[in-house]
């Protein structure tokens, strides 16, 4: 991937500050730009929150899947090209 990646290691950040920091960083991304989250647990609740608040606006790829460290790459999608047009699935329609 050619676009720069912003890494956020949230392991030392107070839990109540994690999601606001991640969303703020995500909103600062240009289309097709990526960020990487490093965490000490599976950030699946963040995924569900992003699906609710930013449906179809991101892709989510696990780079490392525990048991002590989880790394996730989040890419801001191009709003003009839905996930299905790119051969993927946004996850919110059940693959229709």
Q: pLDDT digits over 33-49, tens only? A: 999 999 999 999 999 99
Superfamily of domain 5-79: TusA-like domain (3.30.110.40)
H helix or E strand, kind and range, residue 45: helix 44-53
pLDDT at 33: 95
Contact predicate 57/76, CB 8 Å: yes
Given a cut of 80, is residue 86 above it in pLDDT? no
Given a cut of 50, is residue 96 above it in pLDDT? no
The answer, as to whether pTM is greater than 0.95, is: no
Domain residue ranges of the chain, discontinuous segments joined by +: 5-79
When pLDDT is averaged across residues 16-34 and rounded to a whole number, the result is 95
Alpha carbons 2 and 23: distance in angstroms, whole number: 22
Residue 48 phi, psi dihedral angles, 5° rounding:
-65, -40
């Amino acid at each position: 991937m050619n676009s720069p990646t912003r890494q956020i290691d949230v392991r030392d950040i107070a839990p109540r500050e994690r999601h606001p920091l991640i969303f703020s960083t995500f909103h600062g991304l240009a289309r097709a730009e990526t960020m990487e989250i490093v965490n000490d647990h599976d950030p699946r609740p963040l995924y569900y929150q992003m699906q609710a608040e930013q449906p179809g606006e991101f892709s989510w790829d696990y780079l490392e899947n525990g048991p002590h460290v989880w790394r996730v790459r989040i890419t801001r999608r191009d709003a003009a090209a839905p996930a299905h047009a790119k051969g993927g699935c946004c996850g919110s329609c059940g693959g229709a």
